[in-house]
Amino acid sequence: MTGSTKYIFVTGGVTSSLGKGIISASLAKLLQARGFTVTIQKLDPYINVDPGTLNPYEHGECYVTEDGAETDLDLGHYERFLDVPTSKANNVTTGRIYQNVISKERRGEYLGKTVQVIPHITDEIKAHIQALGRKGIYDFVITEVGGTVGDIESLPYIESIRQLKWAKGKDCLAIHLTLLPYLGTTGELKTKPTQHSVKELLSLGVQPDVLVCRTEHPMQKGMKEKIALFCNVDAEAVIESRDAETIYDVPLLMQQEKLDEVVLKKLGVANYPEADLGAWKDFLRRYKEPKGDVHIGLVGKYVELKDAYKSIKEALEHAGAANELKVHIKWVHSEKLTVKNVAKHLGGLAGVLVAPGFGHRGIEGKIEAIKYARENKVPFLGICLGMQCAVIEFGRNVLAYADANSTEMNADTTHPVIAMMEEQKSVADKGGTMRLGAYACKLEDGSLARSIYNKRDITERHRHRYEFNNAYLGAYEKAGMMATGINPQGKLVEIVELKDHPWFIGVQFHPEYRSTVAKPHPLFIAFVQAAMKQAVKTVEKAEA
C-alpha cells in the first residue's frame, strides 16, 4: 500500500474477556487476505514488566517470541492467525513503560523537567505504538489495549489514543468492542451498557469509529440503527459478533459483517483486492469435518485453567486438522496421578503429552505418566519440563538411580540428571533471565526427529533454566535413551528419544509456539499420526 501506515486501536468495554485478541487477529487476517501487511501489538496496563513472572493462574500461558520476549498469550493468537512472527515490540506493559521513563529520567534525558504522566508516559506509549509503524513494512498496525475502558490503569493508554487520533487524523481508527447482554425474562438484547461504555470513552476524548458488539443471539431489527444514533457511529459500522463454534470461524463471521470493508473505507483506503481466504477455509473444512477421532491425555498441573496450555491445545488442534482427525484432549491433573491410578487415568488414550512447568508441584505424577507411556509403548511427547521428567523417569526406573532428579526439585540429589545451565548460575533476578527465544538445534541422522522435520538444522523457541546434565549422556545412550537434537554452540541436549519405543520424544524447547493455522507444527502432526496408529492397534487388539 502506498502512503503512511494506518493505526487501528481496539479497546474493550462493559466486561473483560470479550475476545479483543480474537477480533484484532480476525481483522488482521482479513486485511492480510487482501494483500496488506499487518502486525498486531498488545498494550497491557499492569505493572509487571512482562508476564514472565506471572503465575498462569493469574494470566494464562506466557507466550515466547522468536527474539525471546515473554509476552501475553494474545500474541499467540496473532501468530497463529497471521503466520507472521511477533517480537518484543509487539507487547508492552505499564511496568515496561514506567521502567523506560524512569531510566531516562535517571540518565538526565528530561533535562530538568518535571516528569509526568502527560506528556512523558503518554509519549513513551505513543513511541511504542509507532515503533512498529516506523519500520516501514506494515500497512496496518493494530493495537489492542488490555483491560476495560473505565479502569484507572488504562487511562494513559486511552489518552495516548486520543492524542494520536488528533495528530494523525484519517490515519487512525478506533474500534470499541462491547457486549449486548441478553435478558432471559424479556427475551431481549440490551444496548444500554454499550451506550454507557461509549460515553465513558467519549468522556476521555475518544470517539469510536467502529463498534463490535458481542452477542449470544442475533441482533434485533433496528438495533444497529439505535446504537448508531446513541453513539455517533454509522449504522454500517455497528458490527454484530455472534458467539462462534470456534475462534477460527471469527474471521469469516467478521467478513460477512464487512468489518474489513468498513475499516478500509473509514481509513480512506480504496481499490483493494478481494480477500483470498482459500487456505483458511480449507483448514476450517478439515477441522470441522474430521474423518476420525483421537484421544490424547495432556498431563499438567494447571489443567483446571485451560488457558495455561493455550498454545499446546491449539497446536494439537492444528495437527488434528492436518490429519483430518478430531483431537479430544483429556486434561489430566498431574498432582492426582499415582502409581495406583495411572492406568485408570491414561488407559485407552492414544497418546500422552506431558506439559511444561516450573517447581516441584505435580512432577511425581508427570513421572508416573511417562513411566506408563514408556512401558506400554504409548506415543509420548514431553515438552520442556515434560522432557526433563522423561529423563528423570528413565534415570530412576531404567538406570536405577533411585533419587535421580532435577536440581530445581532437589538440590541435594546424588543423581542430578537435570541441572542448572552454567550461564544461569550467576543470575539472581527472576524476570526475563531464562534461556529465552529461538536457538539452533542439529538433528541426529537416522533419528525420529530428523525424519519428522525432514531437515538437519532447525531452530525452536526456549524458556528454561535447567538442562540435561551431559555427565550422564553416555550412560543414558547405552541404556537406550538417545540425544537426537543438540544445540551446536553449547552442546546442550535439546531432544531425547527412546530406541525401544514406537514414538517417544522429549523436547527441551516449545514447539507449540511455532504452530500456526497455515503451518501446523511437524512434531505435533507426527504425534497425532502416531496416536492414530496406536488407536487403530488398540481396536485391532480388542477385536482379536
Q: State the catalytic residues.
A: 384, 510, 512
Cell numbers describing residue 36: 496488506
Segment interacting with ligand GLN (CB under 6 A) among 17-25, 145-153, 178-186, 462-470: 462-470
Q: Is 300 in the site for ligand GLN (CB under 6 A)?
A: no
Q: Is 319 in the site for ligand GLN (CB under 6 A)?
A: no
Cell numbers describing residue 181: 447482554
Cell numbers describing residue 317: 488442534
Under 8 Å between Cβ of 375 and 397: no
DSSP 120: I
Segment interacting with ligand GLN (CB under 6 A) among 48-56, 339-347, 453-461, 463-471: 463-471
DSSP lists the bridge partners of residue 239 as: 212
The nearest distance, CB 363 to ligand GLN, in angstroms, is 9
The nearest distance, CB 415 to ligand GLN, in angstroms, is 17
User: Could you identify the residue written with the cell 492414530?
Assistant: 532
Among residues 42, 318, 374, 465, the one that binds ligand GLN under rule CB under 6 A:
465
The nearest distance, CB 530 to ligand GLN, in angstroms, is 22
How far is residue 258's CA from residue 236's CA, in Å, rounded to a whole number? 9
Pairing type for strands 238-242 and 188-189 reads unpaired
How far is residue 7's CA from residue 140's CA, in Å, rounded to a whole number? 6
Instruction: Give the contacts of 106 (CB within 8 A, at least 6 positions apart).
Output: none
Binding track, positions 324-343, relative to ligand GLN; x by CB under 6 A: --------------------
Among residues 140, 466, 476, 513, the one that binds ligand GLN under rule CB under 6 A:
466
Q: Is 358 in the site for ligand GLN (CB under 6 A)?
A: yes
Q: Is 164 in the site for ligand GLN (CB under 6 A)?
A: no
Segment interacting with ligand GLN (CB under 6 A) among 51-59, 87-95, 464-472, 533-541: 464-472
How far is residue 151's CA from residue 106's CA, in Å, rounded to a whole number? 29
Binding track, positions 360-399, relative to ligand GLN; x by CB under 6 A: ------------------------xx--x-----------
Pairing type for strands 351-354 and 140-145 reads unpaired
How far is residue 330's CA from residue 333's CA, in Å, rounded to a whole number? 10
Binding track, positions 404-443, relative to ligand GLN; x by CB under 6 A: ----x-----------------------------------
Helix (H, G, I), strand (E, B) or coil at 372: helix
The nearest distance, CB 287 to ligand GLN, in angstroms, is 28
Segment interacting with ligand GLN (CB under 6 A) among 18-26, 129-137, 301-309, 460-468: 460-468
Residue 344, classified by CB atoms within 10 Å of its CB into exposed (0-12), middle (13-18) or buried (19+), is exposed
The nearest distance, CB 316 to ligand GLN, in angstroms, is 17
Rank residues 1 and 421 by Cβ distance to ligand GLN and give the closer one.
421
Cβ neighbours around 35 below 10 Å, total: 13
Segment interacting with ligand GLN (CB under 6 A) among 37-45, 208-216, 311-319, 355-363: 355-363
Rank residues 318 and 465 by Cβ distance to ligand GLN and give the closer one.
465
Pairing type for strands 457-464 and 435-443 reads antiparallel
How far is residue 79's CA from residue 428's CA, in Å, rounded to a whole number? 32
The nearest distance, CB 409 to ligand GLN, in angstroms, is 9
Tell me the site size for ligand GLN, rule CB under 6 A. 11
Among residues 147, 251, 300, 356, the one that binds ligand GLN under rule CB under 6 A:
356
Rank residues 277 and 384 by Cβ distance to ligand GLN and give the closer one.
384
DSSP lists the bridge partners of residue 333 as: 300
Cell numbers describing residue 31: 486485511
Cell numbers describing residue 490: 553449547
The nearest distance, CB 421 to ligand GLN, in angstroms, is 8
How far is residue 350's CA from residue 215's CA, in Å, rounded to a whole number? 38
The torsion angles phi and psi of 193, rounded to 5 degrees, stand at -60, -35
Pairing type for strands 493-498 and 481-486 reads antiparallel
Rank residues 415 and 463 by Cβ distance to ligand GLN and give the closer one.
463
Rounded to the nearest angstrom, the gap between the alpha carbon of residue 342 and the centroid of all alpha carbons in its chain is: 29
Strands (E), 19-134: 38-44, 63-64, 70-71, 91-93
Find the helix or strand (DSSP H, E) in which 225 lies.
helix 223-231
Among residues 357, 362, 437, 485, the one that binds ligand GLN under rule CB under 6 A:
357
Rank residues 394 and 466 by Cβ distance to ligand GLN and give the closer one.
466
Rank residues 71 and 160 by Cβ distance to ligand GLN and give the closer one.
71
Segment interacting with ligand GLN (CB under 6 A) among 185-193, 209-217, 352-360, 485-493: 352-360
Pairing type for strands 188-189 and 210-215 reads unpaired
Rank residues 172 and 354 by Cβ distance to ligand GLN and give the closer one.
354
Torsion of CA 157, 241, 40, 195, to 10 degrees: -10
The nearest distance, CB 466 to ligand GLN, in angstroms, is 3
Rank residues 77 and 463 by Cβ distance to ligand GLN and give the closer one.
463
The nearest distance, CB 390 to ligand GLN, in angstroms, is 12
How far is residue 474's CA from residue 483's CA, in Å, rounded to a whole number? 10
Cell numbers describing residue 391: 529423563
The nearest distance, CB 526 to ligand GLN, in angstroms, is 21
Among residues 464, 501, 514, 521, the one that binds ligand GLN under rule CB under 6 A:
464
Catalog residues that contact ligand GLN under the rule CB under 6 A: 356-358, 384-385, 388, 408, 463-466
